[in-house]
Structure 1
Amino acid sequence: MVYSLENARSLIAVVLIIAICWLLSERKRRFPFMLAIGALAAQAGLVLALFAIPNSQAMLSGMTAVVDALADSSDRGAQFVFGHLSGGLAPFAMQPDGAVLPFIFGFRVLPLILVISALSALLWHWRILEWVTRFFGFLFEKTMGLGGASALAVAANIFMGMVESPIVIRGYLDKLSRSELFLMMVVGLATVAGSTMVAYAVILAPVLPNAAGHVLAASIISAPAGILLARIMIPEAPDAAPPDYDVTLKYESSKDAITKGVQDGVMVAVNVAAFLIVFVAFVWIANHLLASGQAGAVQLGLVSPSASVVTLQSIFGYVFAPVAWIIGVPWNEALAAGNILGTKLFLTEFIAFIDLGAIPADAMTDRTRMILTYAICGFANVASVGIMTGGMTVLMPARRSEILGLAWKALLPGFMATLMTAAIVAAFPADLFGR
């Protein structure tokens, strides 16, 4: 393995992220050194477990094959409903070679969300996903000192959505302390749901080897980072007594699991489609206004006619380029990487993944693309705060004011948790990941 200054620089980012959260902490008690060491050790250990153990690459390749199979099966179902719009052969020549219709997001990715949502519910009913979640909950409980209920909710966040995971411990939500509630929010924003996870992998598959393995690893590894940053910003009271946990998410039968899984998937797919339509429109409006302003400045002689066109994405690039650089991206790619980071935070991670997948393979190195995959693989964006508060206030109406007060505060550590994960990954040599 070959180390470089870029690997060491990303470790500085980890220190800075932890320091920022410490400065923003509500109660400046003794810094939780043991928790920080435990979280960083958990992240590093998970990276090594997923990529360094013998046959780990074969496991990741198998995961990619599973995602490909799920995507193919989803395409089959979607083609039955939408025909050639979902990727099948067109009944008439649409391109010079008379081949296949181009990739259409609405007909290729959204149906996949429905399939994975229903499959996740079925695996939960069969207790397969429940026991995997219990394992991670036990791991977080023993290694990071979480209470049983919050540990299980945090573990559920790795595979389920930030709104769905609280349902797992619905009977205990009113008993959670303020710190535990904040913790659940931060980890929910730092991770992604299984349904969208597979969709991200499908988007990145053409340009990132083992995309499915990296996306799954990103959601798992970001959980300890979210726990650490949440605990630093709002520490648990010393005398808090966390409740014991039990699973309250139940389905009556396999049919009931599939039915409710499809219904939940419809809500996720509709939300994804609606937010993409709105935010892409907002980007167009912003870029149009910026272009009009720049044209006026050119006419007044304030700006050179040869100046580069200013867009929202270019502004994101300049603002977030230092952030991209400090987490391990080379400076010559920091501008493009900053664009992706800003898009993720202020628009949605879906748009960021689409933009990242659209960058040609020869225009960005695999290492930078991999770092960005970890950095944007989380729900921490402005739109998700609204989704999260809406879902949680329905589950906990008595704590509405408390939820609203904590939601925006959770956005920053949720975003920085994914940056911290990206920095941890960047600290390892590139050949560990097979490149």
Structure 2
Amino acid sequence: MRYLIAVLGVLVVFVLTYAVSNDRRNIRYRPLFIMVVLQTLLAFALLNTSVGEFLIGGFASIFEKLLSYAGEGVNFVFGGIANEGQLPFFLNVLLPIIFISALIGILQYTKILPFIIKYIGLVLSKVNGMGKLESYNAVASAILGQSEVFISVKKQIGMLSKQRLYTLCASAMSTVSMSIVGAYMQMINPKYVVTAIVLNLFGGFIIASILNPYVVSKEEDILQVQEDEKQSFFEMLGEYIMDGFKVAITVAAMLIGFVAIIAMINGIFSGIFGISFQEMLGYIFAPFAFMMGIPWKEAVEAGSIMATKMVSNEFVAMLDLGKHTGLSARTVGIVSVFLVSFANFSSIGIISGAVKGLHEKQGNVVARFGLKLLYGATMVSVLSATVAGLFL
């Protein structure tokens, strides 16, 4: 029965995406079919095979080791503040972002990351039928982040059509930054974080191929990656450390604001209607949770967590998921995969602001299709969670 529901869920995602497609006549079904098959095989390999278990375990152990190194720096500065035996969220989840950001900077400086991103992107372009720029951007977004990735392709931003610009922005919203993956792994099972990152990469191409189909000519199919300004090693390191600190502080501020606002709205709704705001959203999102493979008896509870992610951010939703201890392991897995992306309302402003900072006219274009961007990225999350649910 669950396989039938999952297939139905995938079909519903395709229908909902097809319904708002920019150009249904130009949808290319061959690369679409190939990517759906690849996404399904990858989900099976990651969740149901010893090879997948080994790869995820290795990936998780690397981050566990990196976080332990980060902890050395955090404890040196804040060791006397934390109470013995307690794990303050800011110190243990957010501040290690600084070390991961510094490590990414080192890999960028030594040209290791650009090499990996470029050639994985070139391989993907052979599979997805899209341009080299789109494929590069999807991989780069998963490593550099939704704002920083546009800096690396700023030479081409002004020359892009609306269709190609949409695909670049959709990739940025559908993935997550490698600098905060370690933080996610401390809130949800690393297995689901890794699975979501891989599935979202292909899911972004699948949804974009339906919602925003177009053909890139050979003349347009070029990739111009912006070289970083020449800096000394320690100038670069200091910059990436400060960038990581800004991300940690920004996430902390967003959490304080969103958690407080949601608590206030829940209180108001409970007082007036006898039901919290999140519970009300849970009923709205429950059908989507059910078609993702979540049992109906848990669909409202899961739907409220999904809605929390969309109206606030994934950090707030992951913390909320940790409070719902009565959910089955399968439901936790499906919801966890859904949560690993930047698909929320605040990302519209972040992405349009990042593009506008590089090219004002194109930034205005992004702002105009912002809601459609969120719609597509949400469909990517639903698709990834549904496919993962087949093997949980």
Cα distance in 1 for residues equivalent to 2:236 and 2:185: 25
1:329 aligns with 2:329: no
Cα distance in 2 for residues equivalent to 1:263 and 1:216: 26
Deviations 1:378-429 (A, max 9, x none): 001011111111111102223232121122220011011011011111123x
1:347 aligns with 2:307: no
| Partner in structure 2 of residue 160 of structure 1 | 144
SS of structure 1 residue aligned to 2:209: helix
1:181 aligns with 2:165: yes
1:230 aligns with 2:208: yes
| Partner in structure 2 of residue 299 of structure 1 | none
**TM-score when normalising by structure 2:** 0.93
| Structure whose alpha-carbon radius of gyration is higher | 1
How is 1:253-264 mapped onto 2 (pairs within 5 angstroms)?
A: 253-264=232-243
| Partner in structure 1 of residue 378 of structure 2 | 415
| Partner in structure 2 of residue 24 of structure 1 | 20
Distance verdict in 2 for CA 1:278–1:35, change over 3 Å:
same
Equivalent residue in structure 1 for 2:10, among 14, 17, 31:
14
SS of structure 2 residue aligned to 1:70: helix
Cα distance in 2 for residues equivalent to 1:189 and 1:278: 21
Structure 1 residue runs without a partner (length 5+): 91-98, 205-210, 295-308, 431-435
| Partner in structure 2 of residue 315 of structure 1 | 280
Residue type matched to 1:351 in 2?
V
SS of structure 1 residue aligned to 2:114: helix
| Partner in structure 2 of residue 67 of structure 1 | 63
Distance verdict in 2 for CA 1:50–1:129, change over 3 Å:
farther
On the 8 A contact 1:167/1:249 being kept in 2, the answer is: no
On the 8 A contact 2:348/2:367 being kept in 1, the answer is: no
| Partner in structure 2 of residue 105 of structure 1 | 89
Equivalent pairs: percent with the same residue? 26
CA apart distance, 1:59: 2.4
Cα distance in 1 for residues equivalent to 2:358 and 2:34: 31
SS of structure 1 residue aligned to 2:187: helix
Distance verdict in 2 for CA 1:235–1:30, change over 3 Å:
closer
**TM-score when normalising by structure 1:** 0.84
Structure 2 residue runs without a partner (length 5+): none
Residue type matched to 1:286 in 2?
I
How is 1:121-136 mapped onto 2 (pairs within 5 angstroms)?
A: 121-136=105-120
Cα distance in 1 for residues equivalent to 2:115 and 2:5: 38
SS of structure 1 residue aligned to 2:186: helix
Deviations 1:334-358 (A, max 9, x none): 1221111011111111101111123
Worse-matched range after superposition: 230-239 or 333-342? 230-239
Equivalent pairs, count: 391
| Partner in structure 1 of residue 271 of structure 2 | 292
Cα distance in 2 for residues equivalent to 1:36 and 1:55: 26
Cα distance in 1 for residues equivalent to 2:5 and 2:386: 9
Distance verdict in 2 for CA 1:183–1:348, change over 3 Å:
same
Deviations 1:122-172 (A, max 9, x none): 112223322331233022210011211221111111222111112222222
Residue type matched to 1:316 in 2?
L
CA apart distance, 1:30: 4.5
Cα distance in 2 for residues equivalent to 1:320 and 1:390: 29
Cα distance in 1 for residues equivalent to 2:270 and 2:40: 45
Deviations 1:223-263 (A, max 9, x none): 22112212322222576843411432426343233222112
Cα distance in 2 for residues equivalent to 1:82 and 1:257: 25
